[in-house]
Amino acid sequence: MTRARAALGLAAALLLGPALAGCASDADAAGGGTPELTAEGAYIPRPPTAELAGGFLTIENTGDADDALTSVTSEAADSVEIHTTEGGTMHQADALLVPAGGELRLAHGGSHLMIMGLDSRPAEGDTVPIQLHFEKSPAISLEVPVRPATYTGE
C-alpha cells in the first residue's frame, strides 16, 4: 500500500505538479485500470454580465485509475479556464486530478471554472452547454443550469 501510494504520489507530482500530490488516493495509477467519471451538481451562479461567469461541479471517479480534467470548452462562450484559488487570488490550472475512487470538487471558495465571453447574460433557469475534457476518459457534455447569484450549492 505504501509503495503504491508513493508511486502514485510521484506520478501525480510529475503529471500535475506538486500542489496536487496531496490528493493521491489508494489506487495504482500506473496499473491498467480505467477511470469512470460522472459529473454532478453542476451550476453557474447568475453572473452580473455576459463577460464572466463562474462554474462549479463535482467530478466523481468510481473507476480504479486516476484521470485529470485537462480542459473545458463551451460553444456558448469565448473560452473557459480552470482556476484554483488560494487566499484571495486565483490561478489558472493546466489540469486537475480526478483521483481513482475519489472526486474533484470545483466548489465555492475553492477551484472553479471561469467562463468568459458568454453570448449573452444568462437568466436564472437558463442552461449553458459545457464540455469537460479529460486526459483518459471521453469528454462529458453538460447543460449547466444557471442558479441565483447568491447560490453556493448549500
Partner 1 sequence: MHLRKITLTALALVTAAALAGCGGDGEDTADAGQSPAAQVEGGTAPDEGTVLDTPFDKPDLVLTDTNGESYDFAEQTAGHATLLYFGYTNCPDVCPLTMSNIATAARSLTAEQRADLRVVFVTTDPERDTPESLGAWLRAQGPDFTGLTGDFDTIQAAARSLGVYIEPSYTDDNGDIVSTHGTQVLAFLPTDDKAHVVYTEGVTQETFARDLPRLLEGELP
Range 65-104, binding partner 1 (CB under 8 A): 81, 83-92, 96-97, 99, 101-104
CA distance 23 to 153: 22
Q: Which of 71, 68, 67, 76 is nearest to 44 (CA)?
A: 76
CB 131 within 8 A of CB 139: yes
- Closest approach of partner 1 to the CB of residue 80, in Å: 11
Q: Which of 70, 73, 114, 126 binds partner 1 (CB under 8 A)?
A: 114
- By the rule CB under 8 A, 122 interacts with partner 1: no
Closer to partner 1 by Cβ: residue 15 or 105: 105
Q: Kindly determine how many residues on this chain lie close enough to bind partner 1 according to the rule CB under 8 A.
A: 71
Q: Which is nearer to partner 1, 7 or 19 (CB)?
A: 19
| CA nearest to 133, candidates 90, 80, 88 | 80
C-alpha cell at 112: 472553479
Least Å distance, CB 120 to partner 1, is 13
DSSP three-state, residue 4: helix
- Phi, psi (rounded to 5 degrees) for 58: -120, 135
Q: Which of 112, 118, 130, 146 binds partner 1 (CB under 8 A)?
A: 112
Cα separation of 24 and 83, whole Å? 20
For the segment 5-64, give every residue that binds partner 1 (CB under 8 A). 5, 18-26, 36-43, 45, 47-49, 52-58, 60
